[in-house]
Amino acid sequence: MLLGLGRLASMPGEYKKQPLRVYVETSVWGMTLPSQPRALREPSKQFLRQCRIGLFVPYISSVVLQEIARASARDADQMVVEINRLAPVELTPSAEVEQLAAEYVKAGIVPSRKRDDARHVALATVSSMEILVSWNHRHLANKRKKELFNAVNKLAGRTQPLEICTPFEVLQ
């Protein structure tokens, strides 16, 4: 499934593809570390390279930065170097984000102890991202979870579906 093909420009008669807005969740940054398996590290780095050349518009959040700060100093420093190299737009959770994240937890999609995972999805949803990119298969990047998140989003009046994919799935 190649999702990074972009959307058509909105101007009549203009057919240039626009890069997709992607929320880059913490696990993607973690997989850039040399200690991670090459099978996950290489697609992560390739995806970030595609962001750097403008195929995607990357976003992170203060939640991503807080999670990275909990890593070892060496790992956190290496992830911050990758973030600084890419210079993604940083989002800050709002009351609306926190409410939507609480709805995900209430619906049982994400356990309460993993509230930050719910916050990532809520941030991507409220900020109208097209794709949330993650290696977190347990709580985020799987078909069933995506369906459940989008069902709660629809009940909350949000009609734009959110794709949740691994870096491998969005590579061009």
- 3-state secondary structure at position 69: helix
> What pLDDT, on the 0 to 100 scale, is given for residue 4?
44
Give the residue extent of every domain in the chain: 20-170
Which pLDDT does position 124 carry in this prediction?
98
pLDDT tens per residue across span 26-84? 999 999 999 999 999 999 999 999 999 999 999 999 999 999 999 999 999 999 999 99
In the prediction, which pLDDT does 17 show? 77
The domain made up of 20-170 is a member of CATH 3.30.365.10: no
pLDDT at 5: 47
Quick one: pLDDT at residue 61? 98
pLDDT at res. 128? 96
The per-residue pLDDT for range 110-144, each reduced to its tens digit, is: 999 999 999 999 999 999 999 999 999 999 999 99
Q: Kindly report the length of the chain.
A: 172
Distance CA 80, CA 23 (A): 16
Angle among Cα 134, 127, 30 to the nearest 5 degrees reads 25
pLDDT at 21 over 90: yes
Helix (H) / strand (E) containing 84: helix 73-86
* Helices 62-69 & 115-126 angle (0-180, nearest 10): 150
Q: Which of 52, 44, 83, 53 is nearest to 171 (CA)?
A: 44
* 15 pLDDT above the threshold of 90: no
Residue 156, pLDDT > 60, answer yes
Q: What is the pTM of this model?
A: 0.90
- Contact of 59 with 88, CB cutoff 8 Å: yes
* Per-residue confidence (pLDDT) for residue 32, from 0 to 100: 97
